[in-house]
Amino acid sequence: MPRRCRIHFVSLRSSLVNLPISLYGPLVERGIRPQSLAVHLTLVSSSRAGGVKDGQKREAYVGWTGMASASSLAHFNSGDAGDRGLETVEIDPQYAEGLGLALGDVVEIGLLHDLGYAKSVATEPVSTDDWEILELHASHVESTLLSQVRVAVIGQEIDVWVLGRTRVRLNVVSLEPSTGKALLLTTSTEVSIAPKVRGKAKAAKATPDSKATVTANGAHGRQPPAAEKKAPRPTRTLRILPKRLLEQSAQSTFNGSEVPLAYVSYKTLASLNVQCSSSPRLNGWRATVRRISPPASPDQEHGASSAVSQPVPRVLKPNGEPSSSKVAPSDSETLRNEVVVVWSPDVPVPDGHVALQGGCDNAEDWDLVKVTFLREECSHALPPYQAPHPAVETTLMSSPAHGLAGVQESFSKCTQFCLTAYANHAFSTRVRGVPGLLVTGRSGAGKTAILHAVSKAMQDDPRTLCYTLYVDLSRFSGSPVAKVRSHMKYWMEKAAWHKPSLLVLDNIDKLMGTELEHADSFHTRHITEVFLAIYGSSARAAAPNASGVVILAAAESQAALHPQLNSSHIFKEVVNLKPPSKDARKEVLAHIVKEHMDTSDIVQDSNTPLNYTALATQTEGYSVTDLKDLVARAVHRAAIRSSQLDPSDDAQQTTLTPADFAAAQVDFVPHSLRDVKLQKSEVVWQDIGGLRETKRVLRETLEWPTKYGPIFAQSPLRLRSGLLLYGYPGCGKTLLASAVAKECGLNFISIKGPELLNKYIGASEKSVRDLFERASAAKPCVLFFDEFDSIAPKRGHDSTGVTDRVVNQMLTQMDGAEGLEGVYVLAATSRPDLIDSALLRPGRLDKSLLCDMPDAEERKEILEALSRKVALAPSVDLAALAEETDGFSGADLQALMYNAHLEVVHDTISSHVATSSTKSNGASAIAASSADASEPVKYTLQRIMSGTSADKRRPGLSPTDMSKAKPKHEITAEHLQRVLKATRPSVPPEERERLRRIYSAFVSDRSGELPVPPDAGGIGSRASLM
């Protein structure tokens, strides 16, 4: 039931009211939030003369402050009956006046809990003064509106106080949705305010006694001359063309006077339809130039004083406004100077532009100016427009080349996209959403360089002549959302002001990156939503017109952006900057060296000129930044070498030679490899005996495509990128991979299988992704998985599901969705039957190579390779030894040779101990030495080391004498036989037979469903507890 209260005035400075205590208590007790409540006031009796007329119902919808009315305590203290004892509702007096309420009026209060929420509210200022105050303090009103207004009703006034002092009155025009009479405002409500600018006063009829009528300029306190009242002066808004685009023959002043010139096109001059006092002419028109103030930067707005008397109108469509626009900046905001407007066929200026040679000190390139012809110059019309030099009108000075080498295709894609976007905008008067192009590439790929090059090309292209605004978004990383929002709005306003414009957003992934799993991503998501609300294609209808504005952004990858950016399709095209190819590296190196030679006294040695083809081959995997660093290091080496020559020769020049590049590459690590742990190996093909067929396939697959790149690049077939090495334990699978790292000229990353497994969900898959990302950054690269069966077993046998997810991730990385380019996968296992069959299909691990047990000839080759690293006596028969080691693997033969070498060491030590003990202490010393065997060994080693040091200190000894003094210890057949008697094969015959059947079944049938023999010597099957 509505409750009656009396109106009481309190300076609340808002469109809210304080409720009586009788209503305040229950609301607080129930936890009702002020934001969800509306107060309905209905006038019952008025304290004014005449009261409330019959049939006249006055009502208002207001919000609640959340506070109680302090004056309502009079209800409990008053003993009077009737209306004098009513409780009071407190309201601001100025706001009450706008609602038609007076002090002491009796109203009925109703509380509304079920009002809907407004999506958008359209308002208009009550007066032009309100609009000017709003323009001056737009950001403050935006941030404090919800704290002062809670309810909106069509036709009802809402008041907002600026800085707690100045009142701004707004009328509600429309609501969305329009179903309810009153709607609540929330943080998602969009409030739009229609402009209300001062118009020109109507001119009074001319009478002898009439006073001068104040025009639009008089609205700012200045009365124009009487001659200007007769008719509007020809005026047009033009865009300032940079001087660097003009011909050098352009004059700066008119006929030697001090008045500067302003060049325009013939079409622009004719469109003004000027009446001149003498005979018609084509040049020499006196006019005034006034710079229109562009949108102010948020930093300037925050630093400016809030007491500025005159607002700065923000006209975001100056190029489309008519000559009789009602928006005119005052002289306090703009500079007004006199120039002479001329047209010359020798100085081509596009239509809608003006080339100022002076006269406007604060005017910058691409600014907008108003050119107004003076009245005393006008009385005759120009002849009809006839372009005397149509070819000259569209010809500007040719700009230099973009200076980028190796990325011509990417550069052409970017420029073509911009030209197409501008051409499409020409057919639409209003565009919703800014078309964008995304340039991706790893760090050092040249993204920023290509952004600047495209910006320069679009500026100099006569078809666009666009204004460019470059912003590095990494500077705003971690900034508050309100600050980022204000800057984003400013960028859009500035780009729309200077259109056609190119908005360049570098490092966009640093501000709107992807959401992290274990981090709070609310800040990133909020900024992304703000960006899409301003620039997205689904932007609100009241958003600025995006016609003539194009976005050019750069990020490391498309996956590094927030998912909302990718799903919104704001970037219509993506240009990926791949690492430069061999030809591109050759072009880049030649371009960088030429730049150094042009800017310094460095020259090439005519006897040994630089071979850019060889340098490009040696810099595989280098980015453009790496190539710049390499050339800089080579130049530095050349300067050091030249400084060490004869300094008296003044005519000497610094010469750049291939040796300087070779020295520069020593210890130089490319940027992409600085965080990648690469394995180095000293194993070569000659160190591996046997396995001739396996080594041949490895060389064809890994070494030849790199060594003979141009030939393989023309192959129509897909090259093999995955190999599986399987075989008996100790047969050289890991040794072959070590030789690949040394011989094939590829980067090598070795991974033990269990290193990738992690008990946490998602951690193992992330390890696989990170591993392939490292390999892709280091390409050409070989990924070697040892014990591959431990991380890629058949799916469905793991109760935890960890290895199943790892296999799925590896399938995705190797071929499924992303594929490989420049990354080779090499896997080794002794149980290929346990590997998931999907990994063994073509496109993943294409070829399976068997590392079989060596036969007698291969064992001989292995022994010969091992004997190169140790001293072997000439009498040793390796062929006979190979026959005696039937069933030995390569690892067994290596252990045999190394154990024989240890036998030689022990025999040498024992002979030294026996000799020294006999000479010093005789038989008693020998008996004592046997009691403690460690002491003679230490003593002998010290004697050997001291004897070696003494030999080095003897300058009189010849090499022959030193060889005699230091005898050579060799492995004899006796040592080998002694070790052979104590050595057994590491793979017993039963295990070899079992593995042989596994390998036979693996080669003949890839289904993986191998039959299990009933006997104990069968292959067996994998089992796990589920």
Residue 865 to residue 687: CA distance in whole angstroms = 5
CB atoms within 10 A of CB 102: 15
Q: Which two tokens stand for residue 814?
A: 């190797």
Residue 1022 to residue 796: CA distance in whole angstroms = 11
CB atoms within 10 A of CB 246: 18
State the first-to-last Cα distance of the chain, in angstroms, to the nearest integer: 68
Residue 609 to residue 835: CA distance in whole angstroms = 53
Does residue 232 have a cis peptide bond before it, meaning omega lies within 30 degrees of 0?
A: no
Place of tokens 């010809």: 395
Residue range 25-32: average pLDDT? Answer: 86
Share of the chain above pLDDT 70, in %: 72
Residue range 293-320: average pLDDT? Answer: 52
pLDDT level of residue 439 (50, 70, 90 thresholds)? very high
CA distances (Å), origin 1011, targets 789, 1020, 1022 = 19, 8, 12
Which one-letter DSSP state was computed for residue 818? S
| Residue 902: its H or E element | helix 890-920
Q: What are phi and psi of 116, to 5 degrees?
A: -80, 170
Domains 412-428+437-570 and 582-669 agree in fold? no
Looking at domain 582-669, its CATH class is mainly alpha
Out of 258-262, 422-426, 544-548, 944-948, least confident range: 944-948
**What is the 3-state secondary structure of 921-949?**
CHHHHHHHHHHCCHHHHHHHHHHHHHHHH
Would you say residue 273 has pLDDT above 60? no
Would you say residue 631 has pLDDT above 70? yes
Reference 535, options 508, 558, 568; nearest CA is 568
Share of the chain above pLDDT 90, in %: 3
Please report the DSSP string for 370-393 in residue order.
EEEE-GGG-SSBPPPP--S-HHHH
Instruction: Cite the beta strand spans of 401-488 per DSSP E.
Output: 436-440, 467-472
Q: For position 504, what pLDDT does the model report?
A: 93
SS3 category, 874: coil
Whether the CB-CB separation of 999 and 726 falls below 8 Å is answered with yes
Fold of 859-953+965-981: Helicase, Ruva Protein; domain 3 (1.10.8)
Looking at domain 3-193, its CATH class is alpha beta
Residue 939 to residue 929: CA distance in whole angstroms = 11
Residue 22 to residue 933: CA distance in whole angstroms = 104
Whether the CB-CB separation of 547 and 499 falls below 8 Å is answered with yes
Would you say residue 274 has pLDDT above 70? no
Q: Between the ranges 95-109, 418-432, 650-664, 961-975, where is the mean pLDDT highest?
A: 95-109
pLDDT digits (tens, 9 = 90+) for 754-812: 777 777 777 788 888 878 877 877 777 888 888 888 888 888 776 667 778 888 888 88
CA distances (Å), origin 1020, targets 360, 815, 994, 998, 1007 = 92, 31, 9, 10, 16
Would you say residue 70 has pLDDT above 50? yes
Residue 541 to residue 630: CA distance in whole angstroms = 53
Q: For position 393, what pLDDT does the model report?
A: 39
Q: For position 49, what pLDDT does the model report?
A: 59
Instruction: Cite the beta strand spans of 739-839 per DSSP E.
Output: 747-752, 781-786, 823-829
Residue 457 corresponds to which amino acid?
Answer: A
Fold of 685-853: Rossmann fold (3.40.50)
Contacts of 978 (CB under 8 A, 6+ apart): 900, 903
Could you say which of 3.40.50.300, 2.70.98.10, 2.40.40.20, 2.30.30.60 is the CATH number of the domain covering 227-292+334-393?
Answer: 2.40.40.20
Q: For position 305, what pLDDT does the model report?
A: 40
Place of tokens 């595989």: 620
Would you say residue 913 has pLDDT above 60? yes
Residue 418 to residue 428: CA distance in whole angstroms = 16
Whether the CB-CB separation of 12 and 106 falls below 8 Å is answered with no
Out of 145-149, 214-218, 390-394, 593-597, least confident range: 214-218
Q: Which two tokens stand for residue 630?
A: 């390499």
| Residue 555: its H or E element | strand 549-555
Domain spans in the chain, listed from the N-terminal domain onward: 3-193, 227-292+334-393, 412-428+437-570, 582-669, 685-853, 859-953+965-981
Q: Between the ranges 59-63, 85-89, 250-254, where is the mean pLDDT highest?
A: 59-63
Would you say residue 470 has pLDDT above 90? yes
Whether the CB-CB separation of 436 and 570 falls below 8 Å is answered with yes
Whether the CB-CB separation of 466 and 245 falls below 8 Å is answered with no
Contacts of 265 (CB under 8 A, 6+ apart): 343, 348, 349, 350, 351, 353, 393
pLDDT digits (tens, 9 = 90+) for 471-519: 999 898 888 888 999 999 899 888 888 888 899 999 999 998 888 766 6
CB atoms within 10 A of CB 308: 12
Q: For position 503, what pLDDT does the model report?
A: 92
Contacts of 611 (CB under 8 A, 6+ apart): 658
Out of 119-128, 561-570, 681-690, 957-966, least confident range: 957-966
pLDDT level of residue 555 (50, 70, 90 thresholds)? very high
Whether the CB-CB separation of 724 and 832 falls below 8 Å is answered with yes
Whether the CB-CB separation of 236 and 323 falls below 8 Å is answered with yes
Fold of 412-428+437-570: Rossmann fold (3.40.50)
pLDDT level of residue 973 (50, 70, 90 thresholds)? confident
**What is the 3-state secondary structure of 466-531?**
CEEEEEEHHHHCCCCHHHHHHHHHHHHHHHHHCCCEEEEEECHHHHCECCCCCCCCHHHHHHHHHH
Residue range 742-750: average pLDDT? Answer: 79
